[in-house]
Amino acid sequence: MVKTQPAERAQQRRTKKLDPDPAVRLAILAAASKIVRELGVQSLSVAQVLSRARLSTRAFYRHFDSKDQLVSAVFVDMARVEALRLRRAMSTCAGPVEAVVAWIDGRLDLAFDEKIRSDLRTMSLEAQTQMFAAPELVSGAYAEILKPLVEQLVRGEQLGIFPGIDPATDAQSIQGTVWAVVERQWATGDGNRADIRRHAIRFCLGGLGVAHRHGE
């Protein structure tokens, strides 16, 4: 039997001690997310996060290499929660067309559903700002939100419902269309959801080569 030398045992203890802790990572993310919601990304600092989470600098660097990596993780975490909400709404749909409509409806909630918009508006606006200032920080988050939509576009293409589309590109176009009306509603507050929904769905489905139907 090979004995472990003292130096090796010490190294093993250090390695084990430095292993990431899911609970600590969650605490860091929660603190950072709260700061971003309250003050914005530009006001976020590692020191603030550690103060709120009551953790050490060493604990932070066990889980994140930099503040930018933390910011990216905050947005991805938010996006995964949103994507799960969208998937739930899409899961009961009869086919890809209905699932795309459900995705659009889910994103319109940001402008018209009080409970949804109060939680996601600030983070969504921050993400949009970062898309222009530092796109690498939010590209992962946008990819998460678009995943359910891309999946349904791929499915529709395979079934011949959306002929000749580019799922990834078309998903971005649909997102752009919906985001534009959401931003306008946030700015003016004078839109009627039924009218805006009808226009957005007609425009997006038309771009996919699907006729306007089902009263949308």
Express each pLDDT in 79-95 by its tens digit: 998 999 999 999 999 99
Instruction: Give start and end residues of each alpha helix (H) in the chain.
Output: 6-17, 22-39, 46-53, 57-63, 67-90, 96-112, 114-133, 139-158, 167-188, 193-207
Q: What is the mean pLDDT of the chain?
A: 85
Q: Give the chain's domains with CATH numbers.
A: 1-64 (1.10.10.60), 72-216 (1.10.357.10)
Residue 89 corresponds to which tokens in the numbers above?
């709404």
In the chain, pLDDT over 90 holds for what percent of residues? Answer: 56
Asked if pLDDT for residue 69 goes beyond 80, the answer is yes
Lowest mean pLDDT among 2-6, 142-146, 169-173, 199-203: 2-6
Asked if pLDDT for residue 131 goes beyond 80, the answer is no
Distance from the first to the final alpha carbon of the chain: 73
Of 47, 104, 108, 40, nearest in space to 74 by CA: 40
pLDDT of residue 118: 60
What pTM does this model have?
Answer: 0.80
How far apart CA 51 and CA 53 sit, in angstroms, is: 6
Asked if pLDDT for residue 133 goes beyond 90, the answer is no
Higher pLDDT, 119 or 57: 57
